[in-house]
Amino acid sequence: MKFDNSQDKRSPALRLKFDAASGNGEFSGYASTYGGLPDSYGDVIAAGAYSETLKAHKAAGTMPVMLWAHDQARPIGRWLEMKEDAKGLFVRGQCNLNTTAGRDAHEHIKAGDVTGMSIGYRIKEYSVDNDTGIWTLESVELREVSVVALPANQSALITSKADLVDLMVKSGLPHSAARKVAAGGFSALSHKNETDDELVKAALATVNASLTNLERNTR
């Protein structure tokens, strides 16, 4: 069934956790997940719903734009990769650290002030369950993917700087040391001034175990 939607729609925000290893503004996560409970519009995204729009962008050598909170006047960087997998739409992007908006977004990301993504799209094909009223979106035109402050969906989780800081503090590292590790790795620490080798080893073991569990949960 065809549907020409004249207005852009915005998805509820997915919780996003940002790449702790990157110092160049890169982050990644799921901008959209398939199936599950309907969103606030009563929609469910079908597997493969983004295949046509991704093919069109690839053919044109373009990507959907990266915005701050769906504000077209506030681009914050660019998307480097978008692909569909069994879970949903995986995206990898980079804040433009040469711009004020990009630097501000990156600082908010590092601090854990923002933890979500939301997509702007138009519906192309859909079906409706007449008993439940739920729309299944079978093909959508992806216009933009935004970084947002208020995640409404907890289904997409990857490694984050904010969560790493919390984890390492709980494992025994001082908060200042944990923030340095999240930004620059364990080599960013001065062992003489902030912690000893045994404390670092214990924190690293805790982090590695937790990252393994997170990776399993996001497959």
Question: In this predicted model, what pLDDT tens digit does every residue of 64-75 receive, in sequence order?
Answer: 999 998 899 999
Residue 139 sits in the same domain as residue 171: no
Which of residues 99, 121, 148 is at a domain's end? 148
Domain end among 117, 148, 179: 148
Of residues 132, 137, 118, 144, the one with CA closest to residue 57: 144
pTM over 0.85: no
Domain residues for the domain of 110 are 9-148
3-state secondary structure of 187: helix
Q: Which residue has the tokens 């990252």?
A: 211
Domain boundary among the residues 125, 148, 171 is at 148
- Residue 125 pLDDT: 94
In whole angstroms, give the CA distance from residue 189 to residue 173. Answer: 11
Residue 202 lies in a domain: yes
With contact defined as beta carbons under 8 Å apart, do 42 and 134 qualify? Answer: yes
Q: What is the mean pLDDT of residues 9-24?
A: 56
Least confident of 21-30, 158-167, 183-192: 158-167
pLDDT on residue 111:
80
Q: Are residues 139 and 209 in the same domain?
A: no
pLDDT at 68: 94
| Contacts made by residues 61-64, CB under 8 angstroms, sequence distance 24+ | 64/119, 64/120, 64/142, 64/143, 64/144, 64/145
How many residues make up the chain in this entry?
A: 219
- CB contact at 8 A, 14 and 32: yes
Computed from CA positions of residues 28, 33, 37, 43, in that sequence, does the dihedral angle turn out positive or negative? positive
Both 15 and 53 in a single domain?
Answer: yes
Predicted confidence (pLDDT) per residue in 107-134, tens digit: 888 887 887 888 888 999 999 988 888 9
Does residue 198 form part of some domain? yes
Same-domain status, 111 and 16:
yes
Identify whether 133 is part of a domain. Answer: yes
| Domains: count for the chain | 2
Same domain as 90, residue 26: yes
Radius of gyration of the chain (CA): 19
The residues pairing with 137 across neighbouring beta strands, listed in sequence order, are: 45, 126
Q: Has residue 207 been placed in a domain?
A: yes
